[in-house]
Each structure stands twice: as structure tokens, then as C-alpha cells.
Amino acid sequence: MAADHEFWADKVKRLKRTDKNREIVDVCKLNLPLTSAFNEMAVALRKQIRARRKEKQRYNDILRQLYHAAVWQDFFADTDALCLMEAADSCRVANHFIPRIKCDYNLVGYEYLDMLVVTDVKWIVEAWGEPKRHRHARQINGALYEETVARYKMEKAREQRSAGRLFGDQQLKLTDPEFGLETKGETEQPEEAADTLSASKSSGMKNKKAIIITMIAVVVVLIVLFLAK
């Protein structure tokens, strides 16, 4: 994520208004491997290349940044284990491993780099010629890829343990605003209220039994008096 409190995508929008493409690239690098960060980074780099071409200036340094970004994107693409979503842990993992990803043009080529458009490939071939082969970034970074996945899983497990310590073992008391009763859950009755209800039911049953016994006694007395006559 962006180093300050401003959300990185909002910062990119603000920088676009003044065409600060170098700053946009820096912000996007901090938020890889988010797909939107790769896309914004590519747009900003292409704008810089076009500006230099228009001024007939060298742009090999920026072209190399664009190529490296395309290799990084291929390295992280379609990776279920990395859950490439807008989460701080995936960005931390990516920024830890990105500097170690091999981006040798003659080993990777351009055919499998989906981030590159036709114009990008044209610029690359003009500058560096045709590569010796074309392969996915993970094919030449296999061990590093497995290490990256393992690191991400560790970060996710640590995050889940931290969340569990904060919320998993706690039961927050809920207060009934009408009766002022504290409960442990929405359907569970408080112990005191349950005891009161039980006592009330028991008292009611005793009263009913007393009434029935009294009525039977009255009937018996009436029968005895009738027979005595």
C-alpha cells in the first residue's frame, strides 16, 4: 500500500492530473502484485517512453522497467495460492521477492508476457532484437516461486492467528436496551433470568395442584353429607 495514509489508487489519480508519471511508477511498485497496480504502472511507463521518443531521446532505461514489470506480472499471474487481492500481506510478499526475480530477455522473451501490447513488443525488438527463446517467468524462477508461495502462506497464517487472538476467543456481551439484561448471545437467555422463569413455572404448578386438591376435598365432603341424610 502507499506509504502515507492516502489510498494508493487515489494518489495515482491525483498524480495523473499533473502527468507525474515517474511518481506514479514508484507508487505502483509499492502495491504489486495487484493487477490494477501493474496496469497503472504500464500506462505511466509507456507515456514516458512516448515522450522521450518524441524528443528523440534514449529510453532504454524506461523500456527495461516496462519489460521487468511484465516479467513480474507473469511470475505472479494466475496464482491461486497467492490470492492476488488488495491485501497488505500479498504486497509485502511481492516486494520482498520481486528484486530476486530473473528477468533475462534471452531466457524469458516476450511471447508469454501478457502485459506487453503490440507496440511494447515492437519497441523491445527494435532495441534488443529477437530473444533466443520464450518461456514463462516461473519456468526460470521455479525455486523462487515455491519460496514465494510458502512465504505468502506463512503471512496468511500469521494474520489469521493475530485475528484469532483479537476476536476468536472472546464473547462480547450484548445488552437488551428494553430490559437492561446482559446476554451472551442473541438467543441464549441469561442464567438469572432463566432461574427466575423456572421458579415462576414451579410456583404456578404448585398453585394448580392445591386448587385441584381443594376442589376434590369439597366434592368428597358434599357426598358424605348427602349420604348422611
Helices 118-128 + 35-54 axis angle, to 10: 60
pTM: 0.67
**CA–CA distance, 153 with 145 (Å, rounded to integer):** 13
**CA–CA distance, 213 with 223 (Å, rounded to integer):** 16
Confidence of residue 119 (pLDDT cuts 50, 70, 90): very high
DSSP bridge pairs for 175: 182
Each residue's pLDDT tens digit, 40-74: 999 999 999 999 999 999 999 999 999 999 999 99
Angle at 38 between CA 146 and CA 107, to 5 degrees: 55
Type of residue found at 183: T
Asked whether the predicted pLDDT for residue 201 surpasses 80, the reply is no
90: Cα within 13 Å, side-chain hemisphere: 17
CB 46 within 8 A of CB 120: yes
- The more confident residue out of 13 and 190 is 13
Domain ranges of the chain: 8-168, 174-228
